[in-house]
Amino acid sequence: MIILSKLQTRRQKIKIPFLDLGAAYRELKAEIDVAVLRVMNSGWFILGPEVDAFEEEWAKYCDAKHAVGLANGLDALILGLRALDVGPGDEVIVPSNTYIATWLAVSAVGATPVPVEPDSNTYNIDTTRIAAAITSKTKVILPVHLYGQPADMDPILNLARQHGIWVVEDAAQAHGAYYKKKRIGGHGDIVCWSFYPGKNLGALGDGGAITTNRADLADKIKVLSNYGSRTKYVNEVQGVNSRLDPIQAAVLRVKLKYLDEWTERRRKIADIYTKALKGTDLILPYVPDWADPVWHLYVVRSNDRNALQRHIEASGIGTLIHYPIPPHMQEAYAGLRMNNDYFPLASQIADEILSLPIGPQMEVQQTSHVCNVICDSG
């Protein structure tokens, strides 16, 4: 591992973006350009063989029987819930510590999000708190595999079986992650994916999908996503327009071939961070023995997060906060009349977390420079 000296660090102001999406495209430019032109020349711009091929390849990668391509990750969550007939009067258990899309999907179908606090080590939903949140109205448990780290699925699945409720997974950040040696993609009833450009498997625009082992649910979601129709101009239900674009499907097919290699690069970066920052005052990511994360994000915690972020960014290094305001404190959910006291752990995490740069095109020297800058802050 190359660690720049503090003297070198002071002399140089190395610009390091939080994530370089352009570099990801340039690495695969030749293959991506060929794939895009293939679609353009085919004249098939809605659904068709490119989308069918990606769905088959994605299902196989996720060790799932079925995949349905969709327009984006939020639609995947919404249509997943609709396929399970979740609606007004129903409750869906969600993490208090998550991106707001998880909650928005529940609200979009008219159900009520019931937040549960996170595990203080993994930041994923605390499975020991879920049982207390289950009521006669609970229809779904919706865990999130936050930051690319799988949630503890066995206790969730056991609770769901005991109470006769569904499990819908938000895997928007967990492409390729393993839980107890099995890839995320088929543990719950429906697994929802986002291919937003910044994801580990990212399109050149919006994209999403669901995976499932149930043919009936896959079929229902496919129909819902196509205006409620399986035959043109014949509409069985009130659906929506949420179809994965063939150009994005072609791009994703190219990138999927490199996903495991790019994940290994992320793991090496995470390993450098963990070893170099071990002696600092930062709280570093915790990985349970049963988890094999894909390091969508490398998130640290600091009691003086804002000062640390200013110091790092003053050195030309990009950072982000995932997420600065928990859902229950967003104006969008002001109607719930909740304050920080309702979910103190989610609020504390939001005040302390900082995401360091990470991505498959990030170089070892850049990672080492970030470490030196952080170590130089104290």
Domain contains 96:
yes
* Same domain as 216, residue 307: no
* Same domain as 155, residue 38: yes
Domain contains 268:
yes
Strand pairing partners for 150? none
Q: What is the pLDDT of residue 378?
A: 63
Domain contains 11:
yes
| The token pair that represents 215 in the structure block | 């043919």
Domain contains 1:
no
* Same domain as 172, residue 313: no
* Same domain as 31, residue 163: yes
Last residue of a domain, one of 256, 283, 318: 256
In angstroms, the CA 333 to CA 324 distance is 15
Expressed as residue numbers, the domain containing 108 is 27-256
Amino acid at 233: Y
Q: Consecutive sets of 10 residues in the chain, 378 residues long: mean pLDDT of each?
A: 45 84 98 98 97 98 98 98 98 98 98 98 98 98 98 98 98 98 98 98 98 98 98 96 98 98 98 97 98 98 98 97 97 90 96 98 97 89
Q: What is the pLDDT of residue 377?
A: 76
Last residue of a domain, one of 256, 274, 291: 256
For residue 211, give the CATH number of its domain: 3.40.640.10
* Same domain as 10, residue 69: no
Q: Is residue 25 within 8 Å of 19, Cβ to Cβ?
A: no
Domain contains 123:
yes
* Same domain as 275, residue 228: no
Alpha carbon 160 to chain centroid distance?
Answer: 22
Q: Which pLDDT tens digit goes with each residue over 60-114?
A: 999 999 999 999 999 999 999 999 999 999 999 999 999 999 999 999 999 999 9
Residue 17 — φ and ψ, nearest 5°?
A: -70, 160
DSSP 76-105: HHHHHHHHTT--TT-EEEEESSS-THHHHH
* Same domain as 304, residue 206: no
> Cα(first)–Cα(last) distance of the chain, in Å?
22
Q: Output the pTM of the full model.
A: 0.95
Last residue of a domain, one of 256, 284, 316: 256
Domain count, the chain: 2
